[in-house]
Structure 1
């Protein structure tokens, strides 16, 4: 029972807020700079909430990156499901790379943080593999499996270039690359 005068805070969204705050901290500080203390401060929750809701940092990172990868995959699938023709699919892929799914610097940073973590930790590799599988499945609505795999790899590569290049991003180069791989307009 709580002490007289002390009220228990009703906060049903606390766990969700912690996960969202974790993604914000990762985007700002990287996985290496993410700690329970930083996430608790960003989520405006007591530090004890971290261990109440998550068994440790690995579980919190797994939940946060799962939320991120699911959101990106959902948006990717929506773009690919909204088009009917192969030419429209090419344009959708260009938009995914240049304007929509990977448009924000924050999402690009989170993607690379997840890739780096997955390169070292098999549990996170399962998450990236599930993400790639969803992307390829969405692409296979419009392209054969081999082409879908190549387009998926192109998307990854071009988003990495976009995140790291010091030159302005050129959507025409993206469009040409996608057309060459899909053999449209060549």
Structure 2
């Protein structure tokens, strides 16, 4: 049998963890269940991730990076307000195409806030930094640093709120309508700077 590299195995475990959390919740995301979902031995999971917190943080890293790939779809040459609104639109679109990731992100963050507040603070800080970098590349020349920081944080809050609401009501049409309302609000905020 061919040996699988640790990095590939790591990604299998991250993807399996997302599926397990989306289906069973964080409390029932046991390492045994995750290993089974990844079709890997439990010992391999413990070899790649020494603690469950390490595994959960790897899931977060994946969830920071994947949605931001959707921002590559944002057209160049539009105003800062239009760009910020389109970034929000693309992030929500990405999550609607990846509902397990949306559900896992929300569930995992709330679980982490209750069980490991230090890690929750770190996760929020990393999410803010990643979003600020992406926004800086897209519209940084059009906004001063405090406005860019405020816009990045507002974008995160809007995405999180929309995803949590969608998790509750499950209606994609409603999510799209609410996203457009949020895009208008974000564009007005950016235009005011």
Same fold (TM over 0.5): yes
1:128 aligns with 2:121: no
CA distance 1:172–1:61, shift in 2 (3 Å): closer
Q: Deviation at 1:109? A: 0.3
1:110 is matched with which residue: 100, 104, 115? Answer: 104
TM-score by length of 2: 0.74
Mapping 1:7-156, distance limit 5 Å: 10-12=3-5, 13-72=8-67, 74-80=68-74, 82-86=75-79, 88-120=82-114, 121=116, 122-140=118-136, 141-142=138-139, 144-145=147-148, 146-156=150-160
CA contact (8 A) 1:75 1:101 kept: no
1:48-95 residue CA offsets vs partner (Å, 9 max, x unmatched): 2222222121222222222222222x3254245x43212541551352
CA distance 1:77–1:37, shift in 2 (3 Å): same
TM-score by length of 1: 0.77
Higher radius of gyration, 1 or 2: 1
Name the count of aligned residue pairs: 177
Distance (Å, rounded) in 1 between the aligned partners of 2:160 and 2:47: 36
Uncovered stretches (5+) of structure 1, i.e. residues with no partner: 1-7
- Alignment partner, residue 183 of structure 1: 188
Uncovered stretches (5+) of structure 2, i.e. residues with no partner: none
Distance (Å, rounded) in 2 between the aligned partners of 1:91 and 1:139: 11
RMSD of the alignment, in Å? 2.9
* Larger relative contact order (CA 8 Å, sep ≥ 6): 2
Distance (Å, rounded) in 2 between the aligned partners of 1:126 and 1:139: 20
